[in-house]
Amino acid sequence: MVVVIVAWEHEFAIEVGSKEPVLEIKRNIEQNLGVPMSSQTLSVSGWELVDGLDMEDDPIVTEEVGSKETVLDIKRNIEQNLGVPMALQTLSVSGWELVDGLDMEDYPIVTEGTKIDLIIKPTLEALLNHPTKIQITVKFSSRQISIEVDRTETVRSLKEKIHIIDGTPIKRMLLFFCGIELDEDFRNLSEYGIREFSEIIVFLKTMNRLRDDPPSRKLSVIVQTSSSLLNAATIPVEMKDSSTVNDLRQLLLSNKILPQEDYLFIHKQRIMRDNCSLRWHGVESGDFLYVFKGTVSRGEY
């Protein structure tokens, strides 16, 4: 079979057999991308591929579901197939949790071929053996510092910690791990493969590379509601790319397009941040922004 290896902005395909060891795949990645095997963590749909196993051993489950299939039904099937108790399961799509009381029709982001991640709630023993806090080393040109971070922290959060500890201006920071720039502030550190004792390299932008933000552009986007909200309506909206997600929300509420409720917005399967601009989220004209009823706490971004 042919699998596609995606490592941040790098992507390449390799042919592997069902008996191919995970270590052999890591060796191929080291040869193709130059990432040391010891720094690699491979996963498929949230499942980490263990070094001692081969492709035939790793538990990836493909399941056909209907648009009316409930989240609870999917969890029940997982319990039957994998033996994971329903009470310990959390299902999500790109970080967006699927709520037990809803069905697939309520989630426009779930389409043909969508990968649903299964997170197993840890037991007390697992929490003790696998703490969420990790120690990383941050290296500058002439010094280095050790920082404790959470695996789920964002790149932006790490930059803020470096700024507090070292005083380095956030706007001048360029962070690199294994030769890859951590260039998306909203991504979790774990998404870049950062783990215990990882080394982060800090480069500083020269002053002539610091530029003012470009002028605002007008965007034409489509706001798509869920089936339980306005019967899956599509709402064309024009806004400046410098407008924030909160500006978009207020526009829809003030014009009485949406009922007075709390709402979440999703762009390309990622939860959008209220105080960040459409430009910051990478929104372009013609893009779909999905809206759901609900709120999200800071730790869930």
| The pLDDT of residue 200 | 94
- The residue that leads in pLDDT, 135 or 96, is 135
Cβ atoms of 37 and 21 closer than 8 Å: no
pLDDT single digits (tens) 11-22: 455 666 666 777
- How far apart CA 252 and CA 46 sit, in angstroms, is 35
Query: What whole-number percentage of the chain has pLDDT above 70?
Result: 75
- What pLDDT is recorded for position 52? 64
User: Within 10 A of 53 (CB to CB), how many other CB atoms are there?
Assistant: 13
Residue 46, pLDDT score: 52
* Least confident window among 64-68, 115-119, 275-279: 64-68
Q: What is the mean pLDDT of residues 125-150?
A: 78
Of residues 41, 54, 97, the one with CA closest to residue 74: 97
- 86: closest CA among 98, 74, 95? 74
Residue 257 has pLDDT above 80, yes or no: yes
> Top-level CATH class of 71-127?
alpha beta
**Bridge partners, residue 220, by sequence:** 238
CATH of 218-300, one of 3.40.50.1000, 3.30.565.10, 3.10.20.90, 3.90.580.10: 3.10.20.90
Q: What is the pTM of this model?
A: 0.36
Q: Which CATH class is domain 133-209?
A: alpha beta
What is the domain partition of the chain in residue ranges?
A: 2-48, 71-127, 133-209, 218-300
Instruction: Report the alpha-carbon distance of residue 3 to residue 94 in Å, rounded.
Output: 20
pLDDT of 288 reads 92
pLDDT in tens, 186-238: 888 888 888 888 999 999 877 654 455 567 789 999 999 887 788 888 999 99
Equal fold, 71-127 vs 218-300: yes
Among the listed residues 52, 53, 73, 57, the one whose alpha carbon sits nearest the alpha carbon of residue 116: 73
The DSSP code for 201 is E
* pLDDT recorded at residue 58: 47
CA nearest 34: which of 12, 52, 64?
Answer: 12
CB contact at 8 A, 60 and 45: yes
Secondary structure percentages of the chain, helix, strand, coil, to 5: 25, 30, 45
CB 237 within 8 A of CB 218: no
Per-residue pLDDT tens digits for 72-86: 888 888 888 777 778
As a whole number of angstroms, the distance between CA 115 and CA 118 comes to: 10
The order of strands in the sheet holding 199-204 is 144-150, 133-139, 199-204, 173-177, 180-181
Distance, C-alpha 223 to centroid of its chain: 21
Q: Are 287 and 221 in contact (CB under 8 A)?
A: yes
